[in-house]
């Protein structure tokens, strides 16, 4: 497992009974996490003087935030020299998955060390963490997501990092449809990143189901790789095992490259435990 432990603006303070207390810069959030299966006491009572907002699940699905203290509509969290606009979202999220710093560091190092102009395709690109990382390394990025709201949020992140906006192309579209069009257009990319959800809907109501569509997408993306590619990286929170993802990459990879798959985690301050936070799989071509 790869563990990210060099944040200054973020930390998991304590965990218990399916909940985690996190510090996001100066804001303390208590929210659910299905990986927390142990009983370490009632966090809401223990940290009542610290907590700013709590996310409560609904028995009928979904849930809602309840502010204990005043919380700004948005605030900034940094990782090294990268900045991200944080907001409380309807389904417990904040617009940032801090553990992805492991992948951001890899992307930046890989692109910078290539010492050439690199074109990156970021699929299911969300609020742009990977996009920011690649642009920090001076890459050109095509940022694709089916949600206009998420693309607008990514634009905010690009702006607060003062990046060159001539080096990014924003696309609001269904990922599979976009990839097929890019193949027909003959476009090529040196690096492809994707964060496919378990289930999703495209910009025009198209349906994405990871069990049915991921293999096809990986095959298609091979046709988009340039003659001298750098890497392909897949990130997943969908319950896939690293071995399953490795199998998919082995079966779809048409070029020579080294495949690496593993889990990512974050440290829990109180108990010196590691919280599992999804998996990644990548193919290094150079």
Topology of 98-284 in CATH?
A: Rossmann fold (3.40.50)
* pTM for this entry: 0.95
Q: Where are the domains of the chain?
A: 2-86, 98-284
Burial class (CB in 10 A: 0-12, 13-18, 19+), 55: buried
What is the secondary structure of 24-36 as a DSSP string? ETTEEEEEE-TT-
Comparing 2-86 with 98-284, is the CATH topology the same? no
In this structure, the strands spanning 191-194 and 258-268 are unpaired
Q: Which residues pair with 63 in a beta bridge?
A: 57
Average pLDDT of adjacent 10-residue blocks, the chain of 286 residues:
97 98 98 96 97 92 93 98 96 96 98 97 98 98 96 98 98 96 98 93 82 96 97 94 97 95 97 96 96
Strand partners, 22: 12, 29
Supply the CATH classification number for the domain 2-86.
2.60.40.1180
φ, ψ of residue 138 to 5 degrees: the values are 75, 20
């Amino acid at each position: 497992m790869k563990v990210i432990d060099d944040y200054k603006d973020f930390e998991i303070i304590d965990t218990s009974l399916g909940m985690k207390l996190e510090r996001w810069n100066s804001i303390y959030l208590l929210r659910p996490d299905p990986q927390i299966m142990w009983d370490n006491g009632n966090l809401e009572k223990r940290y009542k003087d610290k907590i700013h907002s709590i996310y409560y699940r609904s028995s009928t699905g979904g849930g809602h935030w309840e502010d204990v203290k005043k919380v700004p509509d948005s605030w900034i969290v940094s990782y090294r020299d990268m900045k991200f606009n944080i907001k409380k979202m309807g389904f417990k999220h904040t617009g940032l998955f801090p553990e992805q710093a492991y992948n951001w560091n890899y992307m930046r190092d890989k692109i910078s060390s290539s010492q050439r102009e690199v074109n990156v395709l970021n699929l299911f690109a969300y609020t742009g963490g990977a996009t920011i990382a690649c642009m920090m390394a001076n890459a050109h990025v095509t940022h694709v997501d089916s949600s206009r709201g998420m693309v607008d949020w990514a634009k905010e992140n690009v702006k607060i990092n003062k990046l060159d906006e001539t080096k990014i192309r924003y696309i609001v579209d269904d990922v599979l449809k976009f990839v097929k069009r890019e193949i027909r257009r003959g476009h090529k990319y040196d690096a492809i990143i994707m964060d496919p959800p378990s289930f999703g809907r495209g910009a025009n109501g198209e349906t994405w189901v990871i069990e049915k569509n991921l293999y096809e997408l990986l095959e298609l993306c091979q046709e988009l790789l340039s003659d001298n590619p750098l890497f392909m990286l897949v990130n997943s929170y969908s319950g896939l095992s690293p071995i399953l993802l490795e199998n998919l990459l082995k079966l779809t990879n048409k070029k020579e490259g080294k495949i690496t798959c593993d889990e990512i985690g974050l440290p829990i301050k109180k108990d010196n435990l590691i919280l599992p936070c999804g998996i990644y799989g990548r193919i290094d071509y150079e």
